[in-house]
Amino acid sequence: MAKPEWYERAIAAARIDAEVTVDDCKIHYATWGEIGKPGIVLIHGSNAHLEWWRFVAPFLADHFRIAAIDLSGNGDSGWRNNYTAEIFAKEVMAVTQHAELGDSPFIVGHSFGGYIALETGYIYGDQLGGVLFCDYVVPSPELFVQWGLSAAENGPARPTKVYKNLDEALGRFRLLPEQPCQHPYVIEYIAKQSLRKVDDGWTWKFDPSMYDYLEISSEQPDKLRSMPCPSAFVLGEYSDDYNSGSVAFTQQITEGKAPIYQIPGTYHHYMFDEPIAVYSAINGILLTWSSSSSLA
């Protein structure tokens, strides 16, 4: 199958991989773009990794200095005995410094990464240029579900399954939530980047115990309200990751000050559906914030 130009350009784009240590844990990240441009940290979702941004980040580098992070317990970063939203936010801010993203960098978080972006904005918002939430909204108190602290209900997580060969492992890769994708070569690429070689075969890179003791905050509405930096939301039209009630609640608590955009014809993992549309949305929002900041 012939691959589109954006795929070939993204794969060919030069990047630099680096790592920084945060509380005795190695944090891996990759950068695109020149030092001195406005900075962006891209945060992936649950059990994912920085390659989720592979087909968006290189295009953003035309105007920004980009760092895509592997949160601890994910991708090529180290694992911890205990994970908290606060330590993830600390990792994000450490990358902004180590990657030389400059003053007032922007935070962009997808799915669970949106939750970490919220925590980062709540704690460090006065140091940020803005927070952009990608297919993530704040649940109302009635819709909030504590899906962390899983060890209390289910016991400690079991190790990830080991597959005898790479083809078997690739055949088991699934997006969560599942969705159609018109670009199978993208899914194949992401699947390969999600696996690591072990003695007996291949297994997934993520730490299965990450959510054993990680508490999801029920105070997200208050944290969003109190963020001192700008915020906005970019949603997928057909996303199954939340319901319309949470979207309406998010609109209500932000009092219309945080615009909510929608990318037509896309699902939750919309950077695989329409990466150029996702790039255009992020680029437009952050350039507007950057210009407003420079004029202030």
For residue 171 the two structure tokens come to: 């055949």
> What pLDDT score does 166 carry?
97
47 Rama class: left (phi>0) / alpha (psi -120 to 50) / beta: left
Q: Is the pLDDT of residue 235 over 60?
A: yes
Q: Is the pLDDT of residue 296 over 80?
A: no
pLDDT range class, residue 2, cuts 50, 70, 90: confident
Percentage of the chain beyond pLDDT 70 is 98
Model confidence, pTM: 0.97
The answer regarding whether domain 5-295 maps to CATH 3.40.50.800 reads: no
For residue 13 the two structure tokens come to: 């784009």
Q: Is the pLDDT of residue 109 over 60?
A: yes
> What pLDDT score does 293 carry?
66
Q: Is the pLDDT of residue 292 over 90?
A: no
pLDDT tens, residue by residue, 206-232: 999 999 999 999 999 999 999 999 999
- Section 256-272 average pLDDT: 96
Question: Which stretch of DSSP H or E encloses residue 108?
Answer: strand 106-110
pLDDT tens, residue by residue, 182-208: 999 999 999 999 999 999 999 999 999
> What residue spans define the domains of the chain?
5-295
Average pLDDT for the chain: 96
Nearest to 269 by CA among 173, 137, 180, 147: 180
For residue 76 the two structure tokens come to: 């090529």
Neighbour-count burial of 170, counting CB atoms closer than 10 A to its CB (0-12 exposed, 13-18 middle, 19+ buried): middle
